Chains A and B, each alone.
Chain A
Amino acid sequence: MHDPELVEGFIADSREMIDEVEPYLIELQKSFEAEGDVDEEILNTIFRLFHSLKGAAGFLHLDNVTRVTHEAETLLNHLREGKLTLNDTQMDMIFEASDFIRKLLSSIEEKGSDEGFESEAEEIVESLRKTIAGPAGNISADEQPAASNDQPGAPPDDPSVSPVPETTDEEPVASDEQLLITPEMKKQFIEESDELLEEVEQNLLALEGGEGQGEGLAGAFRNIHSFKGNCGFFGYSELERLSHKSETVLEHMKNGAVEACGENISVLLRIVDMLRGGIADVSEGGQGRIQGCDLLLELLDDMIPAAEEEQPAEGKPIGEILVERGDATPEAVESALEIQSKPLGEILVDMGKTTPKAVEKALSQQEKQGKTKKVVRRDIRVDLDKLNELNDLVGELVTAQAMVVRNPDLKGHEFENFEKAAHHLEQISASLQDVAMSLRMIPVSGLFRKMMRLVHDLSRKAGKRVDLRMKGEETEVDKTVIEVISDPLVHIIRNSVDHGIEPPDERERAGKNPTGMVELEAKHEGGEVWITVRDDGKGLDRERILAKAIQKGLIEGDGKDMADKEIFGLIFEPGFSTAEKVTDISGRGVGMDVVRKNIDQLKGRVDVQSTAGEGTTISIRIPLTLAIIEGMLVRSGESRYLIPLLAIKESFRPKLDHVTVMPGGQEMVRVREELIPVARLSHVYRLGNGNGRLDEGLLIILENQGKSMCLFVDEILGQMETVIKGLPGFMGNIQGVSGCTILGDGEVSLILDVGGLMERAKQ
């Protein structure tokens, strides 16, 4: 095996390359759709990326990667040379190839090799080949996947031929059988599948409800089994694989190896949705493709206890299958395998197609290309743990420095030189802190690029045309923030595409551009990052949200006098969904509450603005980093607390005649036209005594999710930027306290969690 570091580097590089390829592909497609022409430069870039990938994989003898990239490269080369004109099928194939490579990379990461995917690789290589040979007009053109039917204006395939699955070498006879499938059969298949999936869903829901345990499970198993059989017969491989795996999971549930808990069932429900999506794809003339099929398969795999994981049939090496089927002799397979294990160059020489010299030359060129690339690179990869440690140390250094420079022993003395030296030290450590912090910052462009793929997939699936625009991709954010923000962003964009943007005809009727627009913007604003998702869809429906909220008991009364902002905020409540039909993309009412949850975790906030008919804007504001907090240090009694600046609206010294004391003792203060409840820190936390007169201290107006509260403090000590530390583990989660920080004099100060504080104050 190769040097693990080498392999690790390869994986990281390759992932980057694939990440880079995708946006280019989408751009390519866009330019093609817009101008009917292919942007050669983009094509060249994609070609280059696949080429480098192939080179690196070849060097490491990762045969499956090499084969797939090689074939993809060939396809791209044909496109480049104008032998082929771009169409959707080819795009899909390249996407599929890149997804497959991703999968292989994960396998390499785990097991150090890409073995075990031979048949799948073969399948993809084969379909790539077919795509390449496609328009040449020979027999293979008929065997082309019918996906090109999606493409408006593309020459329609002979309807009696479609759908034809991608046939593979393992099933040489399959293509003949497929020809017997008539459109009527297909129609029947779609209807039947729909019914079966409906039943599976009912079974699962019954199971979840705890009723008819055995019956529901058996029913679900039976139905999914029939479904799988049908899909297999029609040759929809993704549908078949996914349903097969679901069947396995259900079987394990039946024998008790997998728990039939709510979580597992909801995964299965989602799978059913995905299967439905696949059927919908079929009904539109597609191949029953499923978004993220591999991911789903993995998800299901995770549910199956490792020991009992069965080897799916398609996992067998192709050679073995060939031998089993009597299509090849063991000897032939062996010698083929031998050839396969050789580097490409050697094979070419053996076949007499080239000379050893030429191969050597090519190899050295390959190496050179790799080298020039290294020179250009000006970054190194660092373990995140090391960075975290560095940040911790810098934080402690800053604290320690303050303890030295502001040492109480120095009080009353004048040390001119010491002051100078101390000042210098402070400057250096401040710069050091900035640099250490910036190490963790990465641009949001990677995150945004992922969204390109998402929008691309979603809009195709929903039959909508959506243009994703991005602004401020270079904006840098803490890595942890990027990780936590990724999910919410996916959900928001899903909602925009699925519910916000209208179908093209509806848009045209409304006098809008039939192509919808989703804009993704990131920018720095003070110590925060603002990420905005804007769409020009139909906007949120105030009345429908209200009706739903009342029905779900989320609000009291009729909500007539609620502000739009408050009502729109309700979409983030758990279980809230107004989608009339549950689509496979969104509508189960999970999702948007994830947005709120994750943003809360980041101490950020999310706002919704929407105008009916014009669109929705969701803005997320989050602190730049989780490691440092910008806050206002206040004193209450003997304790000092840090309040996150983000939550502070204003502070003022109240006049007693603006204060109303209610019968229970609750104080309310009037600020302009608003009446805001007053909370005393000492009271809320039940620490110390803080019963001073309101006009002797200060009130700080805190805002969280549209609600306001006044906090009474004795004194504001100043604004500061400080390193966040967790409280000792055994203290658990304290409502209203998000952590603590060490002040300049070495003392510990608690950091307030405004959301939690407001909850506390209610009690």
Chain B
Amino acid sequence: MTPKEFEGQALQHTESLYNTAMRLTRNPSDAEDLVQEVFYKAFRSLSQFEPGTNMRAWLFKILINTHISQYRKSSKDPTVGGYDDVEEFSLYNQVHNRASSLSDTPAGILDKFLEEDIRNAIDKLPEQFRDVVMLVDIEGFSYKEASDILNTPVGTVMSRLFRSRKLLQKYLWEYAVEYGLVK
């Protein structure tokens, strides 16, 4: 693959890389720098890219790794432990158990949330959980692709996704209480 061909293909992913970078850094200027760095590294290591393999996944891998090495230096992985209790949290059970005092079914409650609520809840997730949700649910990567991008076993992707979705339910429940959707 020539640099020109590579450029043509890589540039198609600028938008999703930038949007993800915005979410990771929460800052337009840092997001720009991060995406610039991704392209710089991608072109530097062009020889390592195997034509025919998933370029989008490869670029996202560079994005995530660069972000981890540049922006998460100070935070030494605070997100892995300490969330054991979230496995138990179920929005379904919360609503279901109060069904007599609520007009809504568990599924009905979900309709009340706005895009902003869901985005805020995702952004509130601990970083390692948020990464998995962004890759699998938002960007549509498979578990296997996410495991390659994050350099972590598929089983870890699955368990982080499980806990992320439980944690999201916990946040949504908190919003529901705050908004008075439930009492």
Specify whether A and B are partners: no
What is B's interface to A at a CB cutoff of 8 Å? Answer: none
A residues bordering B, Cβ < 8 Å? none
